Chain A
């Protein structure tokens, strides 16, 4: 993607001020109103309340079986909530069958009609709406050129590559100009390179069409790069809803912290909270964090520190705050960064990453070296669950 970077800069600029979720006057386009879904004894979705706003690129992220797809299918109308309501633009969708809902879905398997051509597949939805023939032709042609499928109009799905099929599925769902486009693991079936370029195309499409996209994915990178907000789900519940950077930097639970990237979790008890600082007694000694969160004195907490925020050095750092020493167990060299696994004196394993800023082949720190790990108080988050 040669234009990817320029595009994402433009998007970033446009997105900077886009935050309808923090505006109390804004009305959500999609509202899950205390929705639950049970299949027999299994609870797939457990009391989910969620608002999604117009123009958002919203990601439902979680491990498989966490209920994210069920949530999406309830919005599309393929599942009926056991409890609660799903609202679209204020309208209760409970009694609206899937074929009357102004949302369209891109299926994980694409679900292209094998007996129809590319044109036939893309035109299918418009025909159902009774759109005049001439308008169908122009809209289908427009959509096919938007997803760069010109020249393949008369092909059947089995004559297309995986990437082409993915774009037909996208075109078929977009051509009806849905109020919300639902994407169920849209990139899962593509190989890595194609996935990355398609990501940018999706972002560009969403921004240029000004539509609301809801994507279901188990790939955190995908969720982080694509979306305006991410809902992390676990066992049918929503663990946290926030912007990608908030999710990463201010996770609210150990599950979220661990699911979104690598993290060091240090268990301890709150010793003192004063002047906005919290001191925690842990097996690694007394550690300090800048924000206590909702922790109270004496409470058992976990200190979460991302590996890239930890400084690794051979000598003891000058300021003694949050510095622990240990032995390097192994070093993972990734080119741009190296990951160091360090065993502390207490037996706790910690991970630190450092950018490889020089072109030296031999790194100064290697296995079995004794090193110091340190981080500033504001690099750590205090988690109570």
Chain B
């Protein structure tokens, strides 16, 4: 009886650890395997719209035939067609530029918040999160209003005599960037704020005491100490922006497509599920491989430090 208690505790503990794994297997790994499988199939006029389908009744022979019918054709056509490649590049470019802008604006905002008087900080935090109270779609539609030819932005620019002719904002990359930066800002601000807010302010005094002027202290102390927040913010923004569909679709032009739009087109317009799945798998690899590599290097760096 005495030994039973600890082993039961260990079992309970492993159950707790198991839950997130089960979750990931059920809602990430299995769906991913299904998508991977579809990406290796061929489109067909059928229900579901691809072949081969896997049928348990046919047994081992059926399984062998199923495997034999899988092919990497979709991946080859992805590589062959410039449309896909340019979509990927466009997405990475938009994500890189937007994330950079987000970092600049988000860091400044977070820094201002963290240095504001203690009692004001909750209010500022609230203001950053306030847009979430309104539907994301409505907020993007609002930007269409602001950016259109006779929209608020052009009215202000004309009134201030900054422009003579109302420039076209909608259907440009600028509009996409504005929409993305606006929508993703809280995801950049919050982790950086969290990192800056817990920073010990005597460290700044210590730096000044040791002969470091304020602007240099910012680079030598504040920035390195907020690094985890910056990394979290960059990842939280960059990854979903690469796959962003709604914002470029509503605010962007038709001549350049981001990968999310291409995927949507393949899936709904062309009804080519296998190719759409291949697009998705490549997108996932494109994001996961560099992040995992980076984390690996980072862990090695930390271990070397200790």
A interface, CB within 8 angstroms of B: 76-78, 97-100, 103-105, 107, 109, 111-115, 117, 124-125, 128-129, 154, 156, 159, 172-173, 176
Contact A159 B209 (CB under 8 A): no
Contact B205 A176 (CB under 8 A): no
Binary CB contact string for chain B from 197 to 220 against chain A (1 if under 8 A, 0 otherwise): 000101101111111111010001
Instruction: Tell me which residues from 218 to 235 in chain B have a Cβ below 8 Å from any Cβ of chain A.
Output: 220-221, 224-225, 227
Give the shortest distance, in Å, between A245 (CB) and chain B (any CB).
Answer: 33
Given contacts A99-B211, A114-B225, contact A107 B306 (CB under 8 A): no
Please report the C-alpha to C-alpha distance between residue A329 and residue B271 in the assembled complex, in whole angstroms.
99
Contact A156 B306 (CB under 8 A): yes
Please report the C-alpha to C-alpha distance between residue A122 and residue B188 in the assembled complex, in whole angstroms.
34
Instruction: Flag whether B305 is at the interface (Cβ < 8 A).
Output: yes
Summarize B's interface: helix, strand, loop or mixed: helix
Contact B211 A111 (CB under 8 A): no
Contact B210 A115 (CB under 8 A): no
Q: Which of A109, A111, A176 has the most CB of B within 10 A?
A: A111
B interface, CB within 8 angstroms of A: 200, 202-203, 205-214, 216, 220-221, 224-225, 227, 305-306
Name 17 interchain pairs, CB-CB below 8 A, sorted by A: A78-B205, A78-B208, A97-B213, A98-B208, A99-B208, A99-B213, A104-B209, A105-B206, A105-B209, A111-B200, A113-B221, A124-B207, A125-B210, A129-B211, A154-B305, A156-B305, A159-B306
Residues of chain B with a CB closer than 8 A to A78's CB:
205, 208
Which single residue of chain A is at the shortest CB-CB distance from B221?
A: A113
Which single residue of chain A is at the shortest CB-CB distance from B206?
A: A111
Which single residue of chain B is at the shortest CB-CB distance from A105?
A: B209
Residues of chain A with a CB closer than 8 A to B225's CB:
114-115
Give the shortest distance, in Å, between B145 (CB) and chain A (any CB).
Answer: 46
Residues of chain A with a CB closer than 8 A to B202's CB:
107, 109, 111
Contact A128 B205 (CB under 8 A): no
Please report the C-alpha to C-alpha distance between residue A144 and residue B214 in the assembled complex, in whole angstroms.
27
Q: Which of B209, B227, B305 has the most CB of A within 10 A?
A: B209
Which single residue of chain B is at the shortest CB-CB distance from A156?
A: B305
Residues of chain A with a CB closer than 8 A to B206's CB:
105, 107, 111-113
Q: A115 touches which one: B205, B208, B224 (CB < 8 A)?
A: B224
Please report the C-alpha to C-alpha distance between residue A252 and residue B214 in the assembled complex, in whole angstroms.
44
Residues of chain A with a CB closer than 8 A to B200's CB:
109, 111
Residues of chain B with a CB closer than 8 A to A100's CB:
211
Please report the C-alpha to C-alpha distance between residue A78 and residue B220 in the assembled complex, in whole angstroms.
19
Which single residue of chain B is at the shortest CB-CB distance from A116?
A: B224
Known: A99-B213, A104-B209, A113-B221. 18 other contacts (CB 8 A): A78-B205, A78-B208, A97-B208, A97-B213, A98-B205, A100-B211, A104-B210, A107-B206, A109-B200, A111-B205, A115-B224, A124-B207, A128-B211, A128-B212, A128-B216, A154-B305, A156-B306, A173-B209
Q: Which of B206, B214, B305, B306 has the most CB of A within 10 A?
A: B206
Residues of chain A with a CB closer than 8 A to B227's CB:
115
Contact A176 B211 (CB under 8 A): yes
Please report the C-alpha to C-alpha distance between residue A109 and residue B209 in the assembled complex, in whole angstroms.
14
Given contacts A111-B202, A113-B203, contact A125 B211 (CB under 8 A): yes
Which single residue of chain A is at the shortest CB-CB distance from B225?
A: A115
Residues of chain B with a CB closer than 8 A to A103's CB:
209
Contact B209 A98 (CB under 8 A): yes
Residues of chain A with a CB closer than 8 A to B306's CB:
156, 159
Which single residue of chain B is at the shortest CB-CB distance from A129?
A: B211
Residues of chain B with a CB closer than 8 A to A77's CB:
208-209
Q: B205 touches which one: A107, A112, A129, A154 (CB < 8 A)?
A: A107
Please report the C-alpha to C-alpha distance between residue A34 and residue B56 in the assembled complex, in whole angstroms.
94
Please report the C-alpha to C-alpha distance between residue A156 and residue B302 in the assembled complex, in whole angstroms.
11
Q: B210 touches which one: A109, A117, A176 (CB < 8 A)?
A: A176
Given contacts A115-B224, A156-B305, contact A124 B205 (CB under 8 A): no
Which single residue of chain B is at the shortest CB-CB distance from A114?
A: B225
The 10 closest A-B pairs by CB, nearest first: A125-B210, A128-B211, A111-B206, A111-B202, A98-B208, A115-B224, A99-B208, A128-B212, A105-B209, A99-B211
Which single residue of chain B is at the shortest CB-CB distance from A117?
A: B305
Give the shortest distance, in Å, between A54 (CB) and chain B (any CB).
Answer: 20
Give the shortest distance, in Å, between B212 (CB) and chain A (any CB).
Answer: 5
Residues of chain A with a CB closer than 8 A to B221's CB:
113
Which single residue of chain A is at the shortest CB-CB distance from B304?
A: A154
Which single residue of chain B is at the shortest CB-CB distance from A103?
A: B209
Please report the C-alpha to C-alpha distance between residue A154 and residue B211 in the assembled complex, in whole angstroms.
23
